[in-house]
Amino acid sequence: MLKKSSLVLWGVVLFVAWNALLLFFLWTRPPAFDDHSHLTEEVIRLAQDAELELEHQKDLLRQIHRYSALWSKKRKKVEEAGRLPPPAAASNAGALPATEAVPHRPRASPAAVLPVVVIACDRSTVRRCLDKLLHYRPSRERFPIIVSQDCGHEETARVIASYGEAVMHIKQPDLSDISVPTDHRKFQGYYKIARHYRWALSQVFRTFQYQAAIVVEDDLEVAPDFFEYFQAAFPLLLADPSLWCVSAWNDNGKEQMVEAGRPELLYRTDFFPGLGWLLLSELWDELEPKWPRAFWDDWMRQPEQRRSRSCIRPEVSRTMTFGRKGVSHGQFFDQYLKFIKLNDRFVPFTQLDLSYLKKEEYERSFLPKVYGAPELRVEELQGNQRRELGTVRVQYSSRDSFKAFAKALGVMDDLKSGVPRAGYRGIVSFLYRGRRVYLAPPSDWTGYDPSWS
């Protein structure tokens, strides 16, 4: 009740303030006796601007009021079921050295509500994304879907609205252009995307006060076990301070490069994959104050943000992108993204023991497996030699050798702050001609070199 009164009071304040500014302008304006028609036109224009602004503010208030009521209703229902803990105060994320992991203080129950935030703009094909999410969603209460729309695209807005109360539709209020450096004019879209992400995640964690959220974009299709995967991995994120996200994406997830018959395989990766990812509100407390103006995903991959933390990622991706159109103008889509294998088998992850993914346990089993594998040269692999060796290792020792070997074996060869895509401690795991290959640095590896970019 107090929140509703505050919203009403805020609306009244906006109304009074705007009209006061209008009157002040008219009273202090120098008389223009020689141009009465111009003055009349100016007053009419200002009145129209005032009317438009008031409509804009009213629309924002209606959105807040509507979703505040929906949130209260859903929260009450879930609390009655005993599944959602009360919201906690934001953590104080102080500055730590780039190499020091930031501990997570588990504030949420492993059974907490995990909203799915769909970042949308001007793709009416968002219907494909929403249809799959709704089809596979096991619980409306446990996995509410929030569609955050930027761009003001009417056709896309109509598509989202057609789902009624099955999804929550919020709209980014600031659609203005952004002042960018002259050499970044062609990147205006990336600036708007970063602004939208900041606004959307702030709504989720500040306004709606969720404890965690799964982020997808409007051009992603999800796998049948998408929700099962995140539900099972969420407790790991709470328990292991060396993790900062769970991702549905494998950067080297082309069909011929993954073991499709073993969709239960999961890995740790030092590379932030995105494309369907889970984060805790504590992480947003840390990132929001320094959120970048553009290129947010590459910013996430910098050492200052990653802070030696890792993500969980699958062998077989639980998302695939169907959006060739976008700010990147189809970059990588035709030659790479459209070939990503989307998992089609349901894995009951919540019934599996995933504790092996905790840092200490993972390294105890994964590293001996990698460095115990026989070493082969790239030429031997390409020549399909020594087939009796089912699992092998290809060793690189420099940036150039990594890029050369990766390109020769079909692995993505770009590095971000020295970290290879899907890599863990510099190790990239994939299939090549049906056998497991670890593209790995020497066993005495001491860390990433950010100059390898």
153: amino acid identity, one letter: H
Residue that the structure tokens 């450096």 belong to:
181
98: amino acid identity, one letter: A
Q: Decide if 297 is catalytic.
A: yes
Q: At what angle do helices 126-136 and 154-161 cross, to 10 degrees?
A: 20
Please give the Cα distance from 336 to 26 (Å, whole number). 60
Choose the catalytic residue: 122, 297, 298, 449: 297
Please say whether the beta carbons of 409 and 237 come within 8 A: no
Please give the Cα distance from 167 to 130 (Å, whole number). 9
Residues in a beta bridge with 278? 214, 246
What's the distance, CA 452 to chain centroid? 25
Residue that the structure tokens 């889509």 belong to:
333
400: amino acid identity, one letter: D
The contacts of residue 229 (CB under 8 Å, 6+ apart) are: 223, 246, 248, 314, 318, 347, 349
Give me the active site residues, please. 297
